[in-house]
Structure 1
Amino acid sequence: MTKSGSPRLIEASGLSIAWGHVLSVLTAPGCTEISPLTLSITGFDNEGYPVENQNIRAALDTWLEITGKRGCENVAFTIFPERYYLLAQGNRAEFFEMYREAFQRIQELNPQNNRKGSYFQRLIDFEGGGKGFNQLEWILAEYERRPSGRRSRWQATAFDPYRDVSRTSLQEFPCLQQVSFTFSETNGLIVNAFYATQQIIRKGYGNYLGLSRLGRFMAHEMGLKMERLNVFVGVAQADDLKKTDPDFLAMMAVIKAELQNAPVPA
């Protein structure tokens, strides 16, 4: 069993390829976790959406469905609810209000998963109840007011010690601690996300998809282009699974075949 204590940097173009390279390292014989992991993803299209490899995505979605895990879209929704943004037709204020109202119903329908909130809810309604502090709106309004100056302004937190410090052995939420935003010299937005731990196989892809969509939204509102997503993980884990399971091996066969045609990561 390998538990790496040396920093591991993986940089790749395209969300699917980047995730696939992390999974390839993590599922090597004897390896159970990477600690710490820095994943840097580039490769966003002209509209700011992450480039995906449809074969890898389909293979993962199939495995998640077979094993009864939450799908990529479901996980991504917790970080950025894309369908509400589309319903609001790009109207920022309407988008935020629509989600605030909807989340109270979402919480009632699924209290087990949403009892403490969700990531996007913490970002726009930190205290909860539909009247909490909207961190994203503050960042966007402040950027519109004065885009230069102190760069530490551009950050938002999902972790609340008053609600989240716990002695429970397993806590699903929140693993994402914080997101921050910085800017490149080419008018690009760079999103940084910080995780204490991350389940790479069942949640990693959906996490990166949601973070990429969040970045696209913020870049659009700032008049920038989404350029890079950096994910810092204290402990990247391979989940509790059997690496010899036929369904898992079938998924890995697809991923390895696609990675052979992709550039070797840094």
Structure 2
Amino acid sequence: MKNSAPLLIEETNLSRAWASAFLHIIDNPGKEISPLLITLTGFTNGIPDEDRAIREALDNCLVANNKQKVHTVANTIFPSSLWRRSKYDRNRLFEMYLNALPRYKALASSKNRRGIYFERLIAFGSGPENGNQLEYIISQYKSRPGVRKSMFQAAIFDPARDHVPSAQLPFPCLQHVSFVPQDKDKTLTINAFYATQQIFEKAYGNYLGLCRLGDFMAHEMGLTLDRMNCFVGVAKLDTIPKSHHSLTALTNVARNALEATTDKQITGGI
């Protein structure tokens, strides 16, 4: 299969979902998948199942290439550590985050100067609830039964700020998220759309951050996170060559993990 063909990856493990997309690019011509759809289930108390070996190998490779680790990327979408520190009080979480926002931006000024994803979700700059889109969704859902599902969506991309002629624009790649409650099952699905996504340095952290955001919203809506869907217009590996020596160990770990899973599935079916 060419990388220019659509690719659907359905998994119950976040690490294997990422590894499948990564190896697809490594093993096929070109450096892009267009489009890519990741659909992920497999959560334990709202936390996505992962493969420790893949996660550690990726983090080691990211550090070796002066890139942010998975957890740091995930925090740009949802600050899980701050959520715990707020003792799971969402109003306190929002307050603490906005108070700390100048410091977060200063920690990575070149990456965060145009904004951070969670900032856009809770302080978009316009709209109800003073631009806090997550609070609006939660409060509307809890206010009455039968709220239209098209209401449960939040924008990241803002034409007023983001339609600029820059040759490279690192933010925002994530354009939009939506939440789909299934009241009968008391579950929640989170959907996300990326115009582009960097498979090596961002994608794993993106998936993890989206799952954490989905778990937060499910918690506040009285539901359980059931699925994360991520649609990517163009998933690419263009900041590092496929043949780069630092990718060798990561590629081997990812391949071994997927092959071991396939062997178990075959054995179980016999």
Give the TM-score, by structure 1 length: 0.93
Relative to structure 1, the CA distance from residue 219 to residue 159 in structure 2 (aligned partners, 3 Å threshold; closer, same or farther) is same
After the TM superposition, which segments of 4 or more aligned residues of structure 1 sit over 3 Å from their partners?
A: none
Once the two structures are superposed, what CA deviation does each residue of 1:45-80 show, in whole Å capped at 9, x if it has no partner? 0x1011110000000000001111111011001000
- CA distance in structure 1 between the aligned counterparts of 2:121 and 2:136, rounded to whole angstroms: 10
Match of 1:52 in 2: 50
- TM-superposed deviation, 1:170: 1.0
Gaps of 5+ in 2: 266-270
Relative to structure 1, the CA distance from residue 23 to residue 108 in structure 2 (aligned partners, 3 Å threshold; closer, same or farther) is closer
Q: Any residues of structure 2 matched to 1:4-15 within 5 Å, and which? A: 4=4, 6-15=5-14
- CA distance in structure 1 between the aligned counterparts of 2:21 and 2:145, rounded to whole angstroms: 34
Retained in 1: the 8 A contact 2:198–2:238?
yes
Match of 1:210 in 2: 209
- CA distance in structure 2 between the aligned counterparts of 1:78 and 1:147, rounded to whole angstroms: 32
More deviation, 77-86/147-156: 147-156
- CA distance in structure 2 between the aligned counterparts of 1:56 and 1:147, rounded to whole angstroms: 42
Partner SS state of residue 43, structure 2? coil
Relative to structure 1, the CA distance from residue 214 to residue 147 in structure 2 (aligned partners, 3 Å threshold; closer, same or farther) is farther
Partner SS state of residue 73, structure 1? helix
Once the two structures are superposed, what CA deviation does each residue of 1:17-68 show, in whole Å capped at 9, x if it has no partner? 11111111111142311111111011110x1011110000000000001111
- CA distance in structure 2 between the aligned counterparts of 1:15 and 1:146, rounded to whole angstroms: 34
Q: Any residues of structure 2 matched to 1:94-113 within 5 Å, and which? A: 94-113=92-111
- CA distance in structure 2 between the aligned counterparts of 1:54 and 1:248, rounded to whole angstroms: 17
User: Which of residues 129, 132, 137 is equivalent to 1:134?
Assistant: 132
User: Which of residues 54, 61, 65 is equivalent to 2:63?
Assistant: 65
Retained in 1: the 8 A contact 2:140–2:147?
no
Q: Any residues of structure 2 matched to 1:12-23 within 5 Å, and which? A: 12-23=11-22
- TM-superposed deviation, 1:166: 1.4
Retained in 2: the 8 A contact 1:197–1:236?
yes
Relative to structure 1, the CA distance from residue 202 to residue 149 in structure 2 (aligned partners, 3 Å threshold; closer, same or farther) is same
Give the TM-score, by structure 2 length: 0.92
Match of 1:259 in 2: 258
Identical pairs, percent = 45
Retained in 2: the 8 A contact 1:202–1:239?
no
- TM-superposed deviation, 1:132: 4.4
Once the two structures are superposed, what CA deviation does each residue of 1:82-112 show, in whole Å capped at 9, x if it has no partner? 1110110101110111001110232244432
Partner SS state of residue 261, structure 1? helix
Retained in 1: the 8 A contact 2:77–2:117?
yes
